[in-house]
Amino acid sequence: MAEIIITKENFDEEVRNYNGIVLLDLWAGWCGPCMMLSPAVSEIAEEYDGKIKVGKINVDEQPELAAAFRCESIPLLVVVKNGAIHNMSVGYREKTDIIKMLDL
């Protein structure tokens, strides 16, 4: 399953009320480290399809969501379990480190 584009309109349905694990990638098109991280996030979305949900939040298009996560630097990865923040990480991470954050 490909990543889901998360907006303020679908946030409650896709993240807050989801009973399971959601990996959120807060990013922007002008951010070099975000572009470096994107392939790993896509691979995780495919490899863990059915086990986790992967969402992308463009901070330029969704400033309210960025503010809600107190996002001051990107990329910001957020792991949400059953509607609550479980883990957060700022900056580029290797795929193996991202998988460890999921705590599966």
CATH number of the domain enclosing 65: 3.40.30.10
Alpha-carbon distance of 46 to 3, in angstroms, equals 8
**Interaxial angle between packed helices 95-102 and 32-47, expressed in degrees from 0 to 180 and rounded to the nearest 10:** 60
Verify cis geometry, omega within 30 degrees of 0, for the bond prior to 33: no
Respond yes or no: is residue 31 known to be catalytic. yes
Which pLDDT tens digit goes with each residue over 41-79? 999 999 999 999 999 999 999 999 999 999 999 999 999
Domain holding 81, by residue range, is: 4-102
> At residue 102, what is the residue type?
L
Catalytic residue chosen out of the listed positions 21, 23, 26, 31: 31
> Could you give the number of structural domains in the chain?
1
Alpha-carbon distance of 101 to 104, in angstroms, equals 8
Token pair listed for 83: 């509607």
Average pLDDT of the segment spanning 78-97: 96
Catalytic residue chosen out of the listed positions 15, 23, 24, 34: 34
pTM to 2 decimal places: 0.95
